[in-house]
């Protein structure tokens, strides 16, 4: 499958490496590929520069947002929250078309120090903002409630027995993403929360997730819904 991943950070790198390893044709999209490749320093929390990362992952292509989207059967949005809208605008509504967009972003605002606050919440969400701005794209909010290493390897925690949430307005797209997340990474316990307004809850969970990370001393955890 041709997979376009938006964002060159840890989430984008982790998803790209895992999907390329499964044999998919992965292109990472960025605003300015030449600028991304020219960066000498790592952008924390990444440990190495993108250039070094790509040397270790030569199967993954780097392209503009528009090119990464245009060539893709499915797009995964792994940008930062503040960069999400402009990444999709760069890609363009025509390139996005009616493709499935897995939106893994969180509207975190680090500009006022730690802990981050949310740029949007309560009566709206980043997922809804993106879906409104690109009404044709079939946006499925998913993967935003866990650390990158766990997105692609749920088995690293509790034998994989924990819960992923998703939501979106397109029932077929959600069923397809559910199947892919199992095929790609082994996600078994996926709870569909309904339409895209559930992105509010999925994004507003982040402050609890961040404090739990602090309490446990590691982001390698998740919640399991038990009943």
Positions that interact with a copy of itself (CB under 8 A) = 115, 117-118, 121-123, 157-158, 161-163, 165, 167, 191-194, 197-198, 200-202, 204-212, 214-216, 218, 220-227
User: What's the closest the beta carbon of residue 147 comes to a copy of itself, in angstroms?
Assistant: 11
User: What's the closest the beta carbon of residue 157 comes to a copy of itself, in angstroms?
Assistant: 6
Our CB check for a copy of itself shows the closer of 138 and 141 to be 141
Our CB check for a copy of itself shows the closer of 83 and 207 to be 207
Our CB check for a copy of itself shows the closer of 38 and 216 to be 216
Our CB check for a copy of itself shows the closer of 104 and 206 to be 206
User: What's the closest the beta carbon of residue 102 comes to a copy of itself, in angstroms?
Assistant: 19
Nearest to 35, CA basis, from 74, 64, 5, 2: 64
Nearest to 12, CA basis, from 48, 46, 35, 58: 46
Sheet with 25-30, strands from edge to edge, namely 61-64, 25-30, 2-6, 74-77, 100-103, 138-142, 163-168, 189-192
User: What's the closest the beta carbon of residue 31 comes to a copy of itself, in angstroms?
Assistant: 28
Buried b (16+ CB within 10 A) or exposed e, 113-152: eeebebebbeeebbbbbbbeebeebbbbbbbbbbbbebbb
User: What's the closest the beta carbon of residue 35 comes to a copy of itself, in angstroms?
Assistant: 33
CA distances, 19 to each of 57, 110, 151 (Å): 11, 29, 11
Our CB check for a copy of itself shows the closer of 59 and 207 to be 207
């Amino acid at each position: 499958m041709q997979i376009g991943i938006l964002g060159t950070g840890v989430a984008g790198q982790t998803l790209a490496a895992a999907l390329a390893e499964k044999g998919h044709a992965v292109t990472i999209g960025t605003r300015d590929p030449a600028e991304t490749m020219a960066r000498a320093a790592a952008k924390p929390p990444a440990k190495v520069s993108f250039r070094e990362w790509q040397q270790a992952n030569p199967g993954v292509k780097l392209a503009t947002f528009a090119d990464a989207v245009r060539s893709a059967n499915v797009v995964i949005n792994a940008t930062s929250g503040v960069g999400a809208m402009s990444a999709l605008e760069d890609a363009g509504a025509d390139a996005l078309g009616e493709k499935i967009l897995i939106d893994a972003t969180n509207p975190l605002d680090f500009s006022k120090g730690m802990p981050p606050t949310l740029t949007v919440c309560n009566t709206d969400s980043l997922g809804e903002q993106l879906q409104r701005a690109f009404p044709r794209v079939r946006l499925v909010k998913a993967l935003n409630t866990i650390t990158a290493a766990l997105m692609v390897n749920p088995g690293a925690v509790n034998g994989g027995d924990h819960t992923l949430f998703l939501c979106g307005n397109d029932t077929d797209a959600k069923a397809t993403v559910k199947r892919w997340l199992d095929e790609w990474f082994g996600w078994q316990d996926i709870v569909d929360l309904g339409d895209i307004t559930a992105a509010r809850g999925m994004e507003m969970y982040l402050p609890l997730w961040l404090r739990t990370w602090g309490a446990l001393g590691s982001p390698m955890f998740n919640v399991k819904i038990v009943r």
